[in-house]
Structure 1
């Protein structure tokens, strides 16, 4: 599989050399897994509090509708039966949330599938030196530049832990959603418009080993 390369921009909107995404975000096209991940996410966002009353719970008389025989009509019990308007509901929702699950490994794989698809569409970019942004005007220039290049009108800005403070500069943009990298999922990427990755996310920090004297 070819490495995923995306366009890179400076914080001021200047186009830089391309950036290679880490292998953890590379995955072959798997639409079935992506659809499953999106369904699980949407299901978990729904509170699932719907509850219908049964014939025993509706506030209606329990008296028999009419006598059993001699009317020529069908046999009926009370007006609370499900076949009557205002009666109870048969087999309705009971207010019990059904929670769908997806293993962590599949969640990560679905995220990589979504990112790979977005890269093929040219909807993923990297932004360098986000910490240098101080004004909303500067952030707006960057966003407008990316929108013009990718021909989109919505964006998701994915920030590293080190640059989470930058979100206050972007929070006034209604068309830009801001998320920390640790919280993104396949749904956010697939429906997030153009994805702006903070370049700091892909910087591997080298830990110096202490030498014993």
Structure 2
């Protein structure tokens, strides 16, 4: 698959040949759904358990007399009715984890990349160099000419371009990440996927390696 490459100044940067085994896979909703579900489940933080009566470190000595005190009968100070006592029917510890076959995860990423390429939502840039003009206003003007969508995921090579990262930090709808962080959920939830030449090379090397 041959795609046109643009520069940040909306000029032609030549062409690039994308690997059809990565950017030309027919997307399947069931595979994408499985991968996204797996990602979101593993992002959930574990639920911490509350301390119940058996977990509270207080004296086990009987509190008051069994009868004749004019109050309710209590065995010790760990009862939930007392300040510092254990929680009655407290939350249980829960760990949210899920596993997914590595081949399915890799296939899901290929399908997410292919879906953007198939729908015309893929933009390839030569690089993200700002040429000394790393200003937010200047970058916003350039992005309008490139046809960016409402939300855009920009994937660079091994490291992020510092000038572009600073200039785009205050721009709404621009998210930047290195190629190693590319994932199905972030790709699908953005309108437009923007890759640099280095980003394409790193993604293809990630599957071939």
TM over 0.5: yes
- Give the Cα–Cα distance (whole angstroms) in 2 for the partners of residues 190 and 50 of structure 1: 31
Equivalent position to 2:45, from 33, 44, 47: 47
Specify the alignment match of 1:98 in structure 2.
96
Aligned with 1:130: secondary structure?
coil
What's 1:158 paired with?
155
Aligned residues: 168
Report matched runs for 1:59-208 at 5 Å. 88=89, 94-134=92-132, 135-136=134-135, 137-146=137-146, 149=147, 152-161=149-158, 163-165=160-162, 166-203=164-201
Counterpart of 1:75 in structure 2 is none
Tell me, yes or no, if the aligned pair for 2:178 and 2:199 is still in contact at 8 Å.
no
Unaligned runs of 5+ in 2: 56-79, 81-87, 203-209
The root-mean-square deviation of aligned C-alpha atoms, in Å, is: 2.9
TM-score (norm 2): 0.67
Matched residue SS, 1:131:
coil
Offset of 1:106 from its aligned partner? 2.1
2:10 equivalent among 9, 13, 27: 13
Partner of 1:33: 31
The offset of 1:180, in angstroms, is 0.4
More divergent stretch after superposition (176-185 vs 97-106): 97-106
Runs of 4+ in structure 1 off by over 6 angstroms are 52-57
Q: Which runs of 5+ in 1 are unaligned?
A: 58-79, 81-86, 205-213
- SS, match of residue 39 in structure 2: helix
Residues of 2 paired with 1:175 and 1:120: CA distance? 22
